[in-house]
A = this chain, B = another copy of it.
């Protein structure tokens, strides 16, 4: 028996809209018992008080409960559909198939979860280590031994709220910050360093606690981390290509050096078999299954020397600006707005940049 990964991109009409998912189950296109993870772009602000993520998870669990125990599924909702980004779900299935494993490696995935993290662990070394350990388990599950075959690692991690900070204080301990919005960045950063540690991108000795959120030149080229109010542990979804998997899907990635690095996106698409001059044509677009990217406002306040105002805008958080921008860059090239762009790329690629990963159907002629 061989495993085969399926990826379904489903539109949603709101955080609680599970219509497309339920229909896909009803017609047999999705097997609930095979679902390993569901990623979603939901339409809240993507910041502290974004309840669209928790609402979506609650709604998805309600929709799946008649079919399967949802506790075994990783739910990773990323808030924020700024600019033209379209709310949607990416449902990852792992099925057992009779097919012999394909000659070329195919899309492989693994999921894992850390134990629950107390408020005082968030944004600190304890979180780094917990995530690194979970990434290792996810690689093992995916059957990927070589870190180079890993193309994307999604981590969903907790944040601090005023109440969580107060609760920790009540126990006589301190949190990494009392600023709830800032805690999202620290939590994402600690998770990313956990990925970097697991993938051998950063040496353990280099990870003194004080570096979370500071030494931004230490990063993972494949981590994408997203913080949310709705969970207390870290969820990991790891994607790569591996020989033990069947099917026509492949993953590829590149690293955007800054938010407008179109050439990196073109390289990632080309590696997945989708070369572009201008926008993907309809045929190529039909083979594009998912685009997953990080977005971040460069801490220098500049994009290629020109000033940006994302960090000085007290009305709209920088993460919202950055998602809209990167979403525009990707949508221009791919011709679709169903893009999983998540914000806040601390330690997730170079300052102002980040990973862009692609899942595509291998070209029939090549496969």
Contacts and interface: CB of A to CB of B under 8 A. Distances in A.
Interface of A: 11-16, 43-45, 47-52, 54-55, 58-59, 62, 81-88, 161-163, 165-166, 178-182, 229, 259-260, 262-263, 265-266, 276-279, 299-301, 303-304, 306-317, 320-322, 324-333, 335-338
A264 to B, nearest CB: 10
A47 B314 contact: yes
Given A11-B307, A55-B54, A166-B300, A181 B337 contact: no
Nearest to A80: B309
B324 A82 contact: yes
Oligomeric state, in number of copies?
A: 4
A263 B330 CA distance: 14
A301 B277 CA distance: 28
A84 B178 contact: no
Closest 7 CB pairs of A and B: A328-B328, A47-B314, A162-B301, A324-B324, A83-B325, A329-B332, A86-B306
28 contacts: A14-B54, A45-B315, A47-B314, A48-B313, A49-B312, A50-B314, A51-B51, A58-B62, A62-B62, A82-B321, A83-B322, A83-B328, A84-B310, A87-B309, A178-B299, A181-B314, A182-B182, A260-B279, A260-B337, A262-B333, A308-B337, A314-B317, A316-B316, A324-B324, A328-B329, A328-B330, A328-B332, A332-B332
Contact of A86 (B15, B81, B308): B308
B312 A54 contact: no
A25 B326 CA distance: 36
A325 B321 contact: no
Contacts of A84: 259-260, 303, 308, 310, 321, 325
A277 B279 contact: no
Given A84-B259, A163-B301, A314-B317, 16 more contacts: A45-B315, A48-B312, A50-B314, A54-B55, A58-B58, A82-B321, A83-B310, A84-B303, A86-B308, A161-B301, A179-B182, A262-B278, A276-B278, A303-B337, A315-B316, A326-B328
B337 A331 contact: no
Contacts of A306: 11, 86, 88, 336-338
Contacts of A262: 278-279, 332-333, 335
B83 A304 contact: no
Nearest to A329: B332
Contacts of A49: 43-44, 309, 312-315
Contacts of A333: 262, 332
A214 B161 CA distance: 18
Contacts of A331: 259-260, 303, 325, 328-329
A113 B49 CA distance: 31
Contacts of A328: 83, 260, 324-332
Q: Which of A229, A277, A333 has the most CB of B within 10 A?
A: A333
Contacts of A307: 11-13, 86-87, 162-163
A244 B86 CA distance: 48
Most buried by B among A84, A180, A301: A84
Contacts of A260: 84, 279, 328, 331-332, 335, 337
